[in-house]
């Protein structure tokens, strides 16, 4: 493989890493991942989003490059509008989840000790935590699919196909997707650490942070719909 091909593929990886950090991507993943603290959970959400995003680009790219299919003119625009709706829904869901949990401060004392407090979730929330986490994980994949669809037309229009052919275009998309995945995993690790630190500062701090994430997601979604 000549140096020009290697340079283009390296560019694909770098562009993928930058693309993962688009504001709408960060808003969606942060809102979904804020359900639970923990670096592993944040990494799982980010990985699922990146997988949904990458598979969508590969499927659409394969249809265009190998089968000669054309992307409908309004697909990317309609998908971007749908992303705006999803961001609003993610933000609304986070706000509803904050209300639903109804975290309460419970004071009690043990024999011979000073009274102290603990935060308690409703028992129903604790019992179904794993189930909700699985559902939200699938939601991360679906949001990734929508983001991949919204970005497919602009990306395919810029593919370096003139001299290298469709198989090179697919390799470009694959390495682009790997760049997206690596960047998202780095972001997920950082996001998990931040959520853990905020949780250690107290439940109120973590709840306020989730509320700000939710409102930011809704605002950005409204901006996408408007413009």
Each residue of 38-63: b (16+ CB within 10 Å) or e?
A: ebebbbbbbbbbbbbbbebbbebbee
Global confidence as pTM = 0.77
Q: What is the pLDDT of residues 1-53, one digit of tens each?
A: 567 778 888 988 999 999 998 888 888 888 877 766 677 888 888 999 999 99
Strands 104-108 and 116-120: antiparallel
Q: What is the pLDDT of residues 107-138, one digit of tens each?
A: 455 555 554 444 444 444 443 444 444 445 57
What single-letter DSSP state applies at residue 111?
A: T
Could you give the residue ranges of the DSSP H alpha helices within the chain?
A: 3-20, 23-33, 39-65, 75-101, 123-127, 129-150, 152-157, 166-200, 203-226
Please tell me the distance from the alpha carbon of residue 147 to that of residue 141, in angstroms, as a whole number. 10
* Mean pLDDT, the chain, integer: 78
Strand, helix or coil at 114? coil
CA-to-CA separations, 104 to 118, 123, 172, 179, in angstroms, rounded? 8, 12, 51, 42
């Amino acid at each position: 493989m000549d140096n020009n091909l290697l340079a283009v593929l390296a560019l694909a990886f770098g562009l993928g890493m930058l693309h993962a950090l688009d504001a709408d991507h960060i808003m969606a993943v942060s809102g979904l991942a804020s359900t639970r603290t923990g670096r592993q959970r944040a990494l799982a959400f980010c990985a699922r989003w990146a997988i949904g995003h990458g598979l969508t680009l590969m499927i659409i790219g394969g249809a265009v490059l190998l089968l000669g299919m054309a992307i409908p003119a309004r697909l990317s625009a309609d998908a971007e509008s749908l992303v705006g709706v999803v961001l609003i829904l993610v933000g609304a869901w986070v706000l509803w989840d904050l209300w639903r949990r109804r975290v309460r401060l419970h004071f009690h004392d043990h024999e011979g000790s000073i009274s102290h407090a603990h935060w308690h979730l409703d028992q129903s929330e604790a019992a179904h935590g794993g189930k909700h986490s699985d559902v939200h994980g699938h939601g991360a994949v679906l949001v990734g699919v929508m983001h991949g669809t919204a970005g497919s037309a602009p990306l395919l229009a810029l593919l370096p196909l003139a001299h290298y052919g469709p198989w090179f275009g697919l390799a470009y998309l694959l390495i682009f997707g790997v760049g997206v995945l690596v960047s998202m995993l780095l972001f997920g690790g950082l996001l998990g650490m931040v959520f853990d630190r905020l949780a250690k500062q107290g439940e109120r701090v973590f709840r306020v942070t989730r509320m700000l994430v939710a409102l930011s997601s809704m605002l950005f979604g409204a901006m996408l719909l408007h413009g």
